[in-house]
Amino acid sequence: MTQPTIAVLLPCYNEAAAIAQTVAGFRAALPDATIYVYDNNSTDATIAVARDAGAVVRSERIQGKGNVVRRMFADIDADVYVMADGDATYDAASAPALVARLLGEQCDMIVGSRVSQVQESYRRGHRFGNAVLTGMLARLFGRSFTDILSGYRVFSRRFVKSFPSLSSGFEIETEISVHALELKMPCAEVETPYYARPEGSASKLSTYGDGFRILGTILTLYRIERPLLFFGAIGVLFAALGVVLGVPLALTYMQTHLVPRFPTAILITGLMIIAALCVFAGLILDTVVRGRREVRRLAYLAHPAPASGA
């Protein structure tokens, strides 16, 4: 067996101040890997600096990290994919350990869980938001990772080529996590240092704007992947409201054999119909989702498991 080919994927937007350091770090850590920098409409010298640093530079014109990741996964063929940001915040020296863990345990994804080296590298708002969103994902999907928003990940080929990326922005990490959880892929986490950005480099992440987008993505994925629970919960709420309104009406009818509040009775009937429709919609969609999940699983199994080579 030959040694597995490794591709380092670095999505970039205005990272001229940090990309050379990032490329150099991964070149030293993984000397046999091919380093790809995908520029996303940068207005600074990111492309020139990355090319001078020795990276293979390509471009994605549709704005948004999710769009860049989708393009990278589609274009690049390798056995192992190391994805990080081009801002020099992730520890390139940890990459060999992440790759070794993926190959040694035949995992499909290794998440580099961030451990801040300086307080400024991981803002308090980001830290709190990550904890909230990670906890929500665990409650909705039953299990999760400790750092679902980490952009430092190592993937197998069968993960990358079976991942139907639909996100356009920073919510891509959440979609990746849910994909792994839903297909029950073998995954692991490894703690890695997380550093402050180099001087002159600015974060593109909006604490509140992107946080709400990620929250919306979690709820959307829950609706798509758990339709019976999602629509069933809505149906239960409508049914409960109908029961609350209906009990006084039923008691009055038992005492007088009259229905004095017809509008309320009509409202209760409507609520119960809506509740039934929600439950049946959930049942139908649950069958559809099961079929889709089987198709995704077969696409995933069409590729061989990662192997360490010889």
Whole-number pLDDT of residue 230: 94
Please tell me whether residue 281 adopts helix, strand or coil conformation. Answer: helix
Q: At what angle do helices 172-182 and 65-75 cross, to 10 degrees?
A: 50
Sign of torsion, CA 54 55 58 60? negative
Extract the tokens encoding 233. 């919960």
Q: Which residue has the higher pLDDT, 204 or 66?
A: 66
Cα 126 to Cα 207: distance, rounded to the nearest angstrom:
6
Q: Residue 282 and residue 234: Cα distance in Å, rounded?
A: 10
- Cα separation values, 251 from 44, 114, 179, Å: 73, 60, 50
Q: What is the mean pLDDT of residues 97-125?
A: 80
> Could you tell me which residues come within 8 angstroms of residue 49 by beta carbon, excluding any fewer than 6 positions away?
16, 19, 20
Q: What is the mean pLDDT of the chain?
A: 88
Confidence check: pLDDT of 93 > 80: yes
- Each residue's pLDDT tens digit, 186-202: 999 999 999 887 776 66
Give the pLDDT mean for 217-237.
Answer: 91
Q: Are 60 and 38 in contact (CB under 8 A)?
A: yes
Per-residue model confidence (pLDDT) at position 32: 94
- Percent of the chain exceeding pLDDT 90 equals 59
**Mean pLDDT, range 86-95, rounded to an integer:** 93
Average pLDDT value for residue range 109-134: 70
- Measured between alpha carbons, how far is 20 from 46 in angstroms, rounded to an integer? 9
Distance CA(68)–CA(298), nearest Å, equals 25
**Phi/psi of residue 34, nearest 5 degrees:** -95, 125
| pLDDT value at 114 more than 90 | no
Overall average pLDDT of the 237-255 stretch: 91
pLDDT for res 310 = 47
Retrieve residue 190's tokens. Answer: 């490894």
Give yes or no for residue 122 having a pLDDT over 90: no
- φ and ψ at 204, to 5 degrees? -100, 0
190: enclosing H helix or E strand: strand 187-194
Of 92-96, 149-153, 193-197, 210-214, the least confident:
210-214
Q: How confident is the model at residue 126 (pLDDT cuts 50, 70, 90)?
A: low
Give pLDDT tens digits for 155-167: 999 999 999 888 8
Mean pLDDT of the 120-149 span:
72
Is the model more confident about 128 or about 131?
131
- Gap between the Cα atoms of 35 and 24, Å rounded: 10
Distance between CA 218 and CA 171 in Å, rounded? Answer: 9
Looking at the predicted structure, is the pLDDT value of residue 210 above 80?
no
Band the pLDDT of 1: cuts 50, 70, 90: low
The backbone torsions φ and ψ at residue 278, rounded to the nearest 5 degrees and listed phi first, read: -60, -45
In this structure, which long-range contacts are made by residues 124-131, counting pairs with CB atoms below 8 Å and at least 24 apart in sequence?
Answer: 125/207, 125/208, 126/205, 126/207, 129/207, 129/211, 129/214
| pLDDT category of residue 68 using cuts at 50, 70 and 90 | very high
Residues 221, 224: Cα–Cα separation, whole Å = 5
Of residues 91 and 147, more confidently modeled: 91
**What is the C-alpha R_g of the chain?**
24
Neighbouring C-beta atoms of residue 98, cutoff 10 Å? 25
62-66-69 Cα angle (round to 5) = 95
